[in-house]
Structure 1
Amino acid sequence: MAGGGVEVEAKLRLRDCRELEEVEKRLQELGAVHEEDVAEEDTYYQHPCRDFAETDEALRVRLVDGRAELTYKGPKRIIGGSKARAEYTITLEDPSSARRILEALGFRPAAVVRKRRSYYRLDGVSVSLDRVEGLGCFLEAEYTGEGGQEAARAIEEALEKLGVAERERIYKSYLELLLEKKAPEA
């Protein structure tokens, strides 16, 4: 989402990566528009004075096919089967300088999430099919209009059309899932 606003999305873990092909076929049958396939590399930063894990915030620099952006995400709240959070994004002309500025201010890289993502548009909902390095395959559905119940309803309708609405929802970010996976067991 360019600029700022509220991100409303549902995330589902797929049984295996072969299921991406089944969902992609269903998207095509439904007349969804394939927008692009990209490789995304997200470097998440830790604030020097507060713990983003505790405040449920995120700050990242995303590199995607020669483009770069800086995104802040606020704390999550659950609306229906979707999560919503404030999100503000700016395009970066020079990601290396942006990283140096963040680090000079005391921000430190916390983790990097890499994924291959296919973007589709289905009835006002952005559907992303993700292969996340170290985690597996996922589907994300994000509403691109105003937030709230209308957004949650549109997402549910899209997931029903795709035949995956009954799947368990994941409310954690890829960063949270990756950090959990890397954490030593107690």
Structure 2
Amino acid sequence: MSKENLEVEVKVKVNCDELSKIEKELIEKGAKFLDSREEKDLYLNHPCKDLKLKDEALRIRYVNGHPETITYKGNRSKEEELVKSREELKVKVDNDPIALFEKLGFSPGIYVTKFRKYYSFKEVLVTLDKVDNLGCFIEIESNRKSVDDIKETINELNINGDIVKKTYAELIEELNIS
């Protein structure tokens, strides 16, 4: 797996009132606002294997109602306690690929809808997420694929909350099961 295709991130569940505090802190410390948008992620079920058992995922992301990317996520590394790292391959799309996937035998699975704000801060990407049915989260992804960058950002921004190793899709699925 090449370093370019490796996603290294941490997800922290926070009280929703913490998002505005962290956003203010980001702005005061010179973070660059990149985007604000609604993202709806559709996770697909493979016709021949259980991607969940293999710790893989195939996702179509819709931004503000329009398809943006197809993403393959490989299995997560078990090496680091704080961060989640996994192979991630993305392909940009202009048209909705769902009909193509359905012809190939894939079926719609979990939907995750979130309102997300993106900030660039030093060597990391920080997203402030309000996820339907789950609450609020802060994700920090290292541009240099560095765990140290992530740890420094958590400390510098005084982010307090619970580290979440599961994906939003896994958390949503747990809600549907119970």
- When normalised by structure 1's length, the TM-score is 0.89
Runs of 5+ unmatched residues, structure 1: none
Q: Deviations over 1:163-186 (max 9, x none)?
A: 02x6431110000000001113xx
Say yes or no: does 1:183 pair with 2:177.
yes
Q: How does 1:105-184 map to 2 (within 5 A)?
A: 105-145=104-144, 147=145, 151-164=146-159, 167-184=161-178
Q: Which amino acid aligns with 1:74?
A: G
The residue number in structure 2 matching 1:32 is 31
User: Which residue number in structure 1 is paired with residue 72 of structure 2?
Assistant: 72
Match of 2:84 in 1: 83
The 3-state SS of whatever aligns with 2:126 is: strand
What is the Cα deviation at residue 80 of structure 1?
4.4
Q: How many residues of Structure 1 are paired with residues of Structure 2 in the alignment?
A: 173
Q: Distance in 2 between matches of 1:80 and 1:53?
A: 21
1:120 counterpart letter in structure 2 = Y
Q: TM-score, normalised by structure 2?
A: 0.93
Q: Partners of 2:166 and 2:11 in 1: how far apart?
A: 9
**Separation of aligned partners in 2, 1:43 and 1:28:** 31
Residue 67 of structure 2 contacts residue 95 of structure 2 at CA under 8 Å; is this kept in 1? no
Provide the secondary structure at the position in 2 that maps to 1:179.
Answer: helix
Question: What is the CA–CA distance in structure 1 between the aligned matches of 2:86 and 2:34, rounded to whole Å?
Answer: 24
In the alignment, structure 2 segments of 5+ residues that lack a partner are none
Identical aligned residues as a percent: 36
Offset from partner CA, 1:12-39 (integer Å, 9 cap, x none): 000x211111111111111111111011
Task: Write the deviation string for residues 124-170 of structure 1: whole angstroms up to 9, x where unpaired.
Answer: 1000000000100000000122x3xxx11111111111102x64311
CA contact (8 A) 2:44 2:108 kept: yes
Matched residue of 1:25: which SS?
Answer: helix
Give the secondary structure class of the aligned counterpart of 1:74: strand
Alpha-carbon separation, structure 2, partners of 1:75 and 1:82: 14
The two structures, once aligned, show a CA RMSD in angstroms of 1.3
* Structure 1 residue 11, shift from structure 2 partner: 0.2
User: Does the 8 Å CA contact 2:60/2:67 hold for their aligned counterparts?
Assistant: no
